[in-house]
Structure 1
């Protein structure tokens, strides 16, 4: 074969490779675009039918099938995440476990599916909280993507914080800070580290001074000698609303000499908040934190989710955290009797 013929054949082969590669990318882009539009229409359909179980099962299966067919495409990863969201709503832990075996430990998708996995395990009849924590511990050791690993550590920190395990919280928070995946995770880690060191059970509650929505200047120290329930909430917070009847029950049951409830609202519209308080007959003092999560008292008490409560004893020390409903009422009753 002559030199010129070899050059010609090589050129033809190179052009063919470039053409097929570009055509393949173009074809994949078209397929992804079409499926993206389909997923958007599915979201509308789900909302219109109040996320019926049958529709969630249908769409989650279709989304996962698309991922299986195109696992390396951006839309394939998006479809996988959406499948996990719906499985989380349905408690389909078995499908989640099967799908997780298909996800590489260096994948960035892990960051987006940790919360849906938590929901799925919680709603599953076959899984326990311990199973979820065991999974997180395994992922903590194996994931390599910094943000995904930080999301796992964040979930573990919240778990051990709820168990008042300060030593474990500090250990995990320091790992998040060390990874330094982004500002969000570092700030959350610093908040939990602060809570573990300064907001533990038996620790003196941080004092604060603030003006209430009603215009009165109050200080936490003013209520020493009483039981104080510090309740962080907002009118727009769905899980906060069922707590209101329990707080009203406590407020009517005990005298001002025995108990003081202080609401700390993350609302930004004071007029709307005042209307809400009047309508619900919530008569205890309310402090407003318009900067929400970044405001003075919310940061002082590491408020990363609402509702969040602190019960403070007569000596000004923290007695309990994050109790709700009847548990909150029982704890207050026990403290009043002491």
Structure 2
């Protein structure tokens, strides 16, 4: 009997010691907790934010919690809507919240998670780009005040080169994040309108590596919905009337480079951009550049008046249905100004090109004037 009792005790100890933890473990300390206010644990999935847990913090702010997940997930700690700490967690993770002096606006970060470290890596790349952009903006303002046109052109070129280099660095980093949903989340650092080819390849890769992840499925769905309007795809046909009621088709511009310009008389940013568009039209029209402006106006008189006042001498069409326009729906236009650049063969070769980016693309196509 004594031996039997000892065996039971040993078995109980073994079971206790082998018991697995319930999900990811997050510990740490948050300074200056607010009494009687909840800290929220939020899950981001399918582009939706859901509160999955919450807890109170007492002075001195130490905490320990378990987060049980159905799959590797994007989670964040929300401290009173004052500090948001992003995490990419699996049920095997044991991470610690630490204070850092690196970023005044984000004084807390997570340690102990390789997946989260991937996001920090890309955030640093993006922050460096934004800091360099601020420096260029200061130089741009100075050159503009001095009327130094050559310096303005040089700064525009430097910005575009810097932007391309940053995008390349981000894509290179994402591609190395095999089997980590961080690579899927990090696509938010890219301009998806101009990176369809990369996103398509990434969706294929992750669909092979972690096909059951909801984040993979979201990317695959997003890429498939982008396919008809991707760079390299044939631009959907537009067939709308001019102010005189004459129907015009986009396909009638075949053989030319044509900018589809979605705008409206009531759109202040559109009107502010119009002088630049006029200048580029005048410079490149004789070389084979044309414009098809699609108005999202509802008032015909206001539309026609804006065309005349802004000296927009190219082709204009509209069904005067605001954002319910047939063309706006087809091209998924949710805000204006918005543009698509179409090649002579009718394929999309650029999106949302305005100002310096449009001018750079036209110079690339036609050469500098």
The TM-score with structure 1 as length reference comes to 0.50
Gaps of 5+ in 2: 1-32, 41-59, 66-75, 86-100, 134-161
Q: Partner residue of 1:192?
A: 226
1:332 to 1:136, Cα distance in 2 relative to 1, 3 A: closer
Q: Partner residue of 1:122?
A: 129
Shift of 1:247: 1.9
Within 5 Å, give how 1:1-338 maps onto structure 2: 27-29=35-37, 76=79, 78-81=81-84, 94-95=102-103, 99=107, 101-102=109-110, 120-125=127-132, 129=166, 130=168, 132-133=170-171, 142-143=180-181, 151-156=185-190, 158-159=191-192, 162=194, 166=197, 168-173=198-203, 188-196=222-230, 199-200=231-232, 204-234=234-264, 240-241=270-271, 243-253=273-283, 258-266=288-296, 272-284=302-314, 285-287=316-318, 290=321, 292=323, 296-298=326-328, 300-301=330-331, 303=333, 307-325=337-355, 326-331=359-364, 333-334=366-367
SS at match of 2:36: helix
**Structure with more of its chain in helix, by fraction:** 1
Shift of 1:95: 1.6
1:219 to 1:69, Cα distance in 2 relative to 1, 3 A: farther
Shift of 1:150: 5.8
- How far apart, CA to CA, are the structure 2 residues paired with 1:305 and 1:275? 22
1:255 to 1:185, Cα distance in 2 relative to 1, 3 A: closer
Describe the superposition over 1:224-254 as per-residue Cα deviations: whole angstroms up to 9, x where unpaired: 3443222234567676455422321244456
SS at match of 1:264: strand
1:305 to 1:173, Cα distance in 2 relative to 1, 3 A: farther
1:153 to 1:209, Cα distance in 2 relative to 1, 3 A: same
SS at match of 1:206: coil
**Structure with more of its chain in strand, by fraction:** 2
The TM-score with structure 2 as length reference comes to 0.47
Mean Cα deviation higher: 275-284 or 298-307:
298-307
Describe the superposition over 1:60-108 as per-residue Cα deviations: whole angstroms up to 9, x where unpaired: xxxxxxxx969999751622259xxxxxxxxxx9528975733897999
Q: Partner residue of 1:36?
A: none
1:172 to 1:210, Cα distance in 2 relative to 1, 3 A: farther
Q: How many residues align?
A: 253
